[in-house]
């Protein structure tokens, strides 16, 4: 859990460099809806910036799913 300030951009980075091919789902849970900006850097990292409109505790949720690209 994180304490989030009102109308301030809060950044964090997700590192998936050694996780293999897959997709990311993000969520920010808290007292208000979050506006999320996701930037895939194409180097195994992604930058996330978000803003909430009400102060309070937030939870950052990141789910990573592997894609099975095995050829038979």
Question: Considering the entire predicted model, what is its pTM?
Answer: 0.74
- With vertex at residue 49, the alpha carbon angle to CA 23 and CA 14, rounded to the nearest 5 degrees, is 40
pLDDT value of residue 71: 42
pLDDT value of residue 46: 92
List, for residues 3-50, the tens digit of each pLDDT value. Answer: 666 677 888 999 988 887 788 888 999 888 889 999 999 998 999 999
pLDDT value of residue 4: 64
**The two three-digit tokens of residue 57, written as one number:** 């505790």
**The two three-digit tokens of residue 53, written as one number:** 């409109």
For the chain, the first-to-last Cα distance in angstroms comes to 43
Superfamily of domain 2-66: Immunoglobulins (2.60.40.10)
List, for residues 42-67, the tens digit of each pLDDT value. Answer: 998 999 999 888 888 889 888 888 66
The three-class DSSP label of residue 35 is strand
């Amino acid at each position: 859990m994180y304490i989030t300030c009102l109308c301030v951009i809060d950044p964090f980075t997700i590192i998936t460099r050694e996780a293999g091919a897959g997709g990311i789902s993000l969520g920010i849970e808290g007292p208000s809806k979050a506006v999320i900006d996701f930037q895939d850097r194409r180097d195994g990292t992604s930058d996330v910036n978000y803003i909430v409109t009400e102060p309070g505790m937030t939870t950052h949720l990141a789910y990573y799913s592997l894609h099975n690209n095995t050829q038979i």
